[in-house]
Amino acid sequence: TVHDGPDGVLRGGWYDAGDFLKANLPIGFTTTFLAWGALEFGEGYHRLGLIDTLFSHLDFAVDYIVKCWNPDREELVAQVGDPKQEHPHWVSPEVLEEMREQDGTVPERLVYSLNKWRPGTEISCEFAAALCATALAGRQWGRISVDEFSKRIILAKTLYQFGERKPRTYIDLVPETAEFYNSTDYNDEIAWAALWIYKATNETKYLDAAVQLLPKITPPLPEHTISWDDKKYGVYALLLDEAKDEALRGRALRWAQHTMHHWMHIVPK
């Protein structure tokens, strides 16, 4: 789908599944998680000869994320494609383009955007986390320049500010996606983004912002896990890595031990 957006400016990104919906909340989460894997387990990718492939995917995703955010206008693309229009068409991208261009059986793809008058929190904060995580992974593996690292962090901060300033679930603005990628809360995304920015910058105001949200982010139920919707697991895992305060680390550690006990000894094998 090379014609997404005005003059094709939104080409790129990943499709939802066998159809052609580009849902930016799971795209952002997938990018963050892949980059986190590069940070924690990059040596494994390297030994398997897959480190270049991994960073090729990360760079592809970052390129799309950057296209979706205009910091000057404070405009963020939340989604490309109407889910109900996209799901009936399970064909290759080339065939979809031919159907659109030759017989008009496929309508032009809708672009759903957020802005300072219609703000939404989850996607902007997830994109902020993704930019920080990819910047850190790229620096660790010598894949990005100092200038590119700084550029991503600056963009991440603007995305975080956009989402945190007037918190509101993006589903209010893009109700068409509620059936497919609904959001149950946005506080976890704010804390998640703040911790990734802190990890990349060591600016304590971001750690403080995440800690202040903990009362709103109750420890997740142990039978759940991290997902594109729920980042509580990630918040506590990052706190365990990044927090210097022993009481805070102890809180995160107790939760982690409780969760590991549940998965190792209670969940049916």
pLDDT, tens digit (0-9, with 9 covering 90-100), for 143-157: 999 999 999 999 999
**Which residues lie below 8 Å from residue 15, measured CB to CB, with a gap of 6+?**
21, 22, 93
Q: What is the pLDDT of residue 1?
A: 62
Q: Residue 224: exposed, middle, or buried by beta-carbon count in 10 A (0-12, 13-18, 19+)?
A: exposed
pTM across the whole model:
0.92
Side-chain-side CA neighbours of 179 within 13 Å: the count stands at 5
What is the Cα–Cα distance from 225 to 233, expressed in whole angstroms? Answer: 7
| Of 85-89, 140-144, 187-191, minimum mean pLDDT range | 85-89
**Which residues lie below 8 Å from residue 180, measured CB to CB, with a gap of 6+?**
16, 21, 23, 83
Extended beta strands in the chain, E state? 22-23, 69-70, 75-80, 111-115
> What would the mean pLDDT of 22-50 be, rounded to a whole number?
97
pLDDT, tens digit (0-9, with 9 covering 90-100), for 65-82: 999 999 999 999 999 988
Residue 233 clears pLDDT 90, i.e. is over it: no
Q: What is the pLDDT of residue 15?
A: 87
Tell me the one-letter amino acid at 190.
I
Contact 110, 82 (CB under 8 A): yes
Give me the percent of the chain exceeding a pLDDT of 90.
Answer: 59
What is the Cα–Cα distance from 149 to 9, expressed in whole angstroms? Answer: 23
Residue 222 clears pLDDT 60, i.e. is over it: no
